[in-house]
A and B are shown apart, each in its own frame.
Chain A
Amino acid sequence: MGSSAISAAPPVSAPPERVRAFVARLRSGDEIAHIFTLAFAAITFLLTVLLVFELYHNCALPRHKFGWNFLITRTWDPVFENFGALPFIYGTVVTSAVALLLAVPLGVGAAIFLAELAPPRISDWLTFVIELLAAVPSVIYGVLGIFVLVPIMRTYVEPFLKSSLGFLPLFKGPIYGIGFLTAAIVLAIMVVPFIISVSREVLLAVPADQREAALALGATRWESTWKVVVPFARVGIFGSIFLSLARALGETMAVGNDPRISTSLFAPGYSIAAIIANEFSEAPGDLYRQSLIELGLVLFLLTILINGLARIMILATRGRGTSQE
């Protein structure tokens, strides 16, 4: 009894008896078990260190040849062996940014619906289906993007945008179908289930008594959600957005394969992930291959940075609920 109301928070339960017993046995074999498990844990640590090392070590050629200029050079010229990362960084960032612009409102909106507004049974089913969406392999997104989305973009959507918003530099230029905009849409669809999932978790983690307090004051469901729950979870939701940005950066494909920088969203470009995927196994020459590796290193560092920011943000929301004594 008591005055606690239950919303659909994730259940906390003890692990099954058998597992606990097994672990207890492990524990009593103590020293050996300790070292044994520690060794395996250390593998994770060592692997990561090795990864960073290998990445760094294997792009020595371009690092020495180009130095920091690698990051700001616009050309990618296999013939004269002059490689610059800028078009790829541009392609990766622009595609991801536009993708987020599309995915975030959609994803956060859906998360709000599932966590706060929807009747419980509908919420359960929809959540289940949307999490299945997160399991769809990226190949399928990529391939369907090219087959289904590109023609639609080329025939209907992009001409429409051009005729109505063509005064903006974003929507000028020739229309191919494949390009930043299309790639961004595919990426958005890929990233949405993830945003929904994490945002929903963050919203559900807001203490029930906050919702109760708001509703008891005569707020409507929406007002309680928008004015109390979402602000409470705001930082966590930003964190989820950053997390999905980090994911998105690594999955930017379908942009085309033209290392150009253009302001138009219709134009094809190239992204780090795309060029590595396309050309790595047949890279002509060591400098070429190592330049691709350096691109990989850049991408990796970008994702680390953004992931780090995201984790800090999400941790911050968790702390807020415990600020009462």
Chain B
Amino acid sequence: MSSIANPAVMVKPSTEKKANELDSKASVPIAHKIEVSNLNFFYGPRQALYDVSLKMQENRVTALIGPSGCGKSTFLRTLNRMYEMIRNARAEGDLQLDGENIMKMDVAKLRRRVGMVFQKSNPFPKSIFENVAYGPRVNGHKDRLADLVEASLKRAAIWDEVKDRLHKSALSLSGGQQQRLCIARALAVEPEVLLLDEPCSALDPIATAKIEELLFALKDSCTIVIVTHNMQQAARVADDTGFFLMGKLIEFNDTAVIFKKPAKKETEDYITGRFG
């Protein structure tokens, strides 16, 4: 993968066309999968997110970019309430999934609908099959498990590599393979939204490319939100992009717009590499 300085060049042609269309056309009302309004987030006394609002559409890939410590991962973790594992972490604001209040939902139900893939792959020390089967088992799908496992591994583009060793330990896979296994595991419960927190940061370019490819295919069945510190990646895979800086959402728009005609100076500075 050659590194290109200006990510605007990487923007997909189809997205670019949409950017031009949006300039001229009146917008049609679109159903938003996730709506966030006035989100403030605190780690104890320290505020990490300031009044964040955005709306994410169904079946699109949304990328969240920004320098380290800007709050993008924190934001991601509010969407499936994973922050609740941290002491003294507190979220205030309105978060909605398909119109339902995320904070009031049963958290286990929420997390079945909103899945997550982590920065460092974390397969269970069990077999490949058992890893993928864990989610469905816990959620009560005891029959047709083998089919479900196979389908999930296929969606994660790793079936061919593991189909002959489903009962070997998941830890025997390479880093890139483990991460795709984790994606398969997340997909096995058939989530509506998939959150990915810098999923490729520990992987080599080839493994990264494989994952980016499967995200394209997944979009049709899933809404994807991906946090990445790699702008080129955002330009490559995302339909929409949000730029975070110091806990605030500076700008959120179609990827093409963000990278070609950013509205805010901070966005432009970041994109062109003046900082971060």
Taking CB atoms, residues of chain A closer than 8 Å to B175 are 325
Q: Assess whether B82 is interfacial by the CB under 8 Å rule.
A: yes
CB distance from B243 to the nearest CB of A (A): 16
Beta-carbon contact of B86 and A216 below 8 Å: no
| Interface bits A194-213 vs B (CB < 8 Å: 1, else 0) | 00000000000001111111
Known: A1-B74, A3-B73, A227-B134. A217 touches B121 (CB 8 A): no
| Interface bits B107-135 vs A (CB < 8 Å: 1, else 0) | 01111110110111111111000000011
CB distance from B64 to the nearest CB of A (A): 12
CB neighbors of A among B120-168 (8 A) = 120-126, 134-135, 138-139
Q: Assess whether A323 is interfacial by the CB under 8 Å rule.
A: yes
Known: A1-B68, A217-B112, A218-B109. A227 touches B171 (CB 8 A): no
Taking CB atoms, residues of chain B closer than 8 Å to A120 are 87
Q: Assess whether A223 is interfacial by the CB under 8 Å rule.
A: yes
Beta-carbon contact of B171 and A2 below 8 Å: no
Taking CB atoms, residues of chain A closer than 8 Å to B58 are none
Which one of B83, B115, B197 contacts A217 once the chains associate, using CB atoms below 8 Å?
Answer: B115
Q: Assess whether B200 is interfacial by the CB under 8 Å rule.
A: no
Residue of A nearest to B73 (CB): A3
CB distance from B90 to the nearest CB of A (A): 14
CB distance from B153 to the nearest CB of A (A): 16
Known: A6-B86, A217-B134, A217-B138. A209 touches B182 (CB 8 A): no
Q: Assess whether B60 is interfacial by the CB under 8 Å rule.
A: no
Most buried by A among B110, B116, B185: B116
- B contacts with A, residue count (CB < 8 A): 44
Q: Give A218 to B109 CA distance when docked, in angstroms.
A: 6
Known: A228-B124, A320-B125. A5 touches B86 (CB 8 A): yes
Q: Assess whether A61 is interfacial by the CB under 8 Å rule.
A: no
Q: Assess whether B97 is interfacial by the CB under 8 Å rule.
A: no
Beta-carbon contact of A1 and B118 below 8 Å: no
CB distance from A209 to the nearest CB of B (A): 4
Q: Give A217 to B86 CA distance when docked, in angstroms.
A: 18
Q: Assess whether B198 is interfacial by the CB under 8 Å rule.
A: yes
Q: Assess whether A98 is interfacial by the CB under 8 Å rule.
A: no
Residue of A nearest to B188 (CB): A217
Identify the A interface with B (CB < 8 A): 1-3, 5-8, 120, 207-220, 223, 227-228, 231-232, 320, 323-325
Report 29 cross-chain contacts, Cβ distance below 8 Å, ordered by A residue. A1-B70, A1-B71, A1-B74, A2-B68, A2-B73, A3-B73, A5-B85, A6-B86, A8-B87, A120-B87, A210-B122, A212-B85, A213-B118, A213-B182, A215-B82, A216-B116, A216-B186, A217-B186, A218-B111, A218-B139, A219-B108, A223-B138, A227-B134, A227-B138, A228-B134, A231-B126, A232-B124, A324-B122, A325-B174
